[in-house]
Copies of this chain bind each other. A is one copy, B any other.
Amino acid sequence: MTDTLDFYFDFSSPYGYFASTAIEQLAADIRRTVRWRPILLGPMFKAMGSGPLVEIPLKGAYARHDIARSARLFGIPYREPAVFPIAAVAASRAALLLQEDDPQQAAEFIKRVYRAYFAEGRDITDMDVLVAAADQAGADGSRLPAGVATDRIKSRLKEEVDAAMARGVFGSPYMIVDGEPFWGFDRFEHIRKWAASAS
């Protein structure tokens, strides 16, 4: 069994989406297995006295431009969602629920939900969209509506976010490898350099 690369992401994060398209290749390159960890940025923004990137004066307009350009330069399908950002609570709970049964199906679900939101113009706060993504990932989507509404799964997501913040996680995507933290899709090359210099 190989060591893991913890991959923290918020479903409402475009750079998290970009990272989701390349994280498995990165992990393979440095001989790690991806551990997909959905989080919510809301509580983190609160701790930092910050807010969603695209809503910050000056920086927000640049961010929208940089997001679309990054997608183009890296050849990643992207269309800015009609409603953005969103609180992706249901999708995150669904991912945790699916992971309990089959981490591989859950990973496929996560990638499909990201793509639905950032490339296909779908509304991922809509439970039907999540159910379809789960079915396409080979899981039983019909479990989701009741499953994400349980106190147990609600608590689990809250605990995941608290535990992430206790480890210093404050953004998306955020990767931790052997205790070493990396923030941002633009740190993928740093991870490769770091792994090469550490080995």
Residues of A near any B CB (own CB < 8 A): 44, 47-50, 56-59, 61-62, 65-66, 69-70, 72-73, 165, 168-171, 181-184, 186-187, 189-190, 193-194, 197
Q: A181: which B residues are within 8 A, CB to CB?
A: 62, 65
Q: A47: which B residues are within 8 A, CB to CB?
A: 57-58
**Chain B: minimal CB distance from A150 (Å):** 30
Q: For the complex, give the distance between the alpha carbons of A50 and B55 in Å.
A: 13
| Secondary structure dominating the interface of A | helix
Known: A48-B56, A50-B56, A56-B50. A190 touches B62 (CB 8 A): no
Selected from B58, B73, B169, B187, the residue in CB contact (under 8 A) with A48 is B58
Selected from B44, B73, B193, the residue in CB contact (under 8 A) with A58 is B44
* Contact present for B57 and A49 (CB under 8 Å): yes
